[in-house]
């Protein structure tokens, strides 16, 4: 039997823009599978750190990307500030990106659990991983708002890093993600921009559903 084509929703945006929360809610709403592609880069960066390596070492990063087992990602370890930093370093390497591209595309076209579609969030879903996605959103928020959100998240998980330091991290990461040559973070030409600086989670979700319903109709 031929499988109906999977419907893909691409959610891109910078660190702590609210794209993960939004993407997860959208997947539940449409009963689609969900893939947080940032967790793959975080897992690669974290694996290099855990082995005592340097994330800037291309050979070590590529070996970690090739050895990545998506079913064995340590969800707690990859959320640390250090893992986020390491993720953005390994993510700038074309060979690392190539090593995990197939998994992402396959998830989008053959969503697990027999779902009819998939929501993927990341930096290059609408531009590189799934340029044919049915609906594309680029979720943003001001660096200050994003720093505050990330600070609250990290505080809950026991981190004592200050908000000013996190704002610096976010600015540095935005710059690295947007200026790298390989799949830089940028809105696809056909993406809808959603600025969540002044939106609650529910308001952002409502706005996203309105945009996606229209794109899918
Ligand atoms: O949680 P946060 O929004 O900070 O970032 P993330 O989505 O977990 O991604 C961590 C890092 O992985 C980013 O800073 C990017 O450098 C990289 N990434 C990427 O290059 N391409 C993707 N599709 C997803 C993440």
CATH number at residue 28: 3.40.50.300
H or E element: which one contains 7?
Answer: strand 7-12
Instruction: Please state the domain count of the chain.
Output: 1
Phi first, then psi: what are they for 160, rounded to 5°? -105, 15
Q: What is the pLDDT of residue 3?
A: 54
Is residue 2, in this structure, part of any structural domain at all?
no
DSSP letter for 18, please: S
User: Beta strand pairing status for 192-195 and 33-36?
Assistant: unpaired
Is residue 65, in this structure, part of any structural domain at all?
yes
Q: Ligand 1: which residue has its CA nearest to atom 18? A: 38
Q: What is the pLDDT of residue 159?
A: 82
Is residue 68, in this structure, part of any structural domain at all?
yes
* Residue 117 CB–ligand 1 contact under 6 Å: no
* Residue 7 CB–ligand 1 contact under 6 Å: no
DSSP letter for 182, please: S
38 and 122 Cβ atoms separated by less than 8 Å: yes
What is the CA(190)–ligand 1 centre distance, in A? 21
Q: What is the pLDDT of residue 1?
A: 45
* Residue 43 CB–ligand 1 contact under 6 Å: no
* Residue 124 CB–ligand 1 contact under 6 Å: yes
Low-confidence ranges of the chain (pLDDT < 70): 1-4
Q: What is the pLDDT of residue 157?
A: 85
Is residue 116, in this structure, part of any structural domain at all?
yes
Is residue 217, in this structure, part of any structural domain at all?
no
Q: What is the pLDDT of residue 200?
A: 93
What is the CA(187)–ligand 1 centre distance, in A? 14
What is the CA(38)–ligand 1 centre distance, in A? 4
Is residue 167, in this structure, part of any structural domain at all?
yes
Q: What is the helix, strand, coil percentage profile of the chain, to 5?
A: 55, 10, 30
Q: What is the pLDDT of residue 45?
A: 98
Reported as a single tens digit per residue, the pLDDT across 47-87 is: 999 999 999 999 999 999 999 999 999 999 999 989 999 99
* Residue 123 CB–ligand 1 contact under 6 Å: yes
Range of the domain at 14: 7-212
Q: What is the pTM of this model?
A: 0.94
Q: What is the pLDDT of residue 125?
A: 98
* Residue 97 CB–ligand 1 contact under 6 Å: no
Is residue 1, in this structure, part of any structural domain at all?
no
């Amino acid at each position: 039997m031929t499988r109906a084509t999977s419907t893909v929703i691409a959610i891109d945006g910078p660190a702590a823009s609210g794209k993960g929360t939004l993407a997860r809610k959208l997947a539940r709403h449409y009963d689609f599978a969900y893939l947080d592609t940032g967790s793959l880069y975080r897992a690669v960066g974290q694996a290099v750190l855990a082995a005592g390596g340097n994330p800037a070492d291309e050979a070590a990063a590529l070996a970690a990307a090739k050895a990545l087992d998506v079913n064995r990602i340590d969800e707690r370890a990859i959320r640390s500030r250090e893992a986020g930093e390491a993720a953005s370093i390994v993510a700038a390497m074309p060979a690392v990106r190539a090593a995990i591209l197939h998994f992402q595309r396959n998830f989008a076209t053959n969503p697990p659990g027999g779902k009819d579609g998939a929501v993927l969030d990341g930096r290059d879903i609408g531009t590189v991983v799934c340029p044919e996605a049915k609906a594309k959103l680029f979720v943003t928020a001001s660096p200050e708002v994003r720093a505050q959100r990330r600070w609250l998240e990290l505080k809950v998980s026991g981190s004592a890093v200050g908000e000013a330091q996190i704002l610096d991290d976010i600015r540095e990461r935005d710059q690295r993600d947007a200026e790298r040559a390989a799949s830089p973070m940028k809105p696809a030409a056909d993406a809808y921009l959603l600025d969540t600086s002044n939106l609650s989670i529910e308001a952002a979700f409502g706005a996203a559903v309105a945009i996606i319903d229209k794109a899918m109709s």
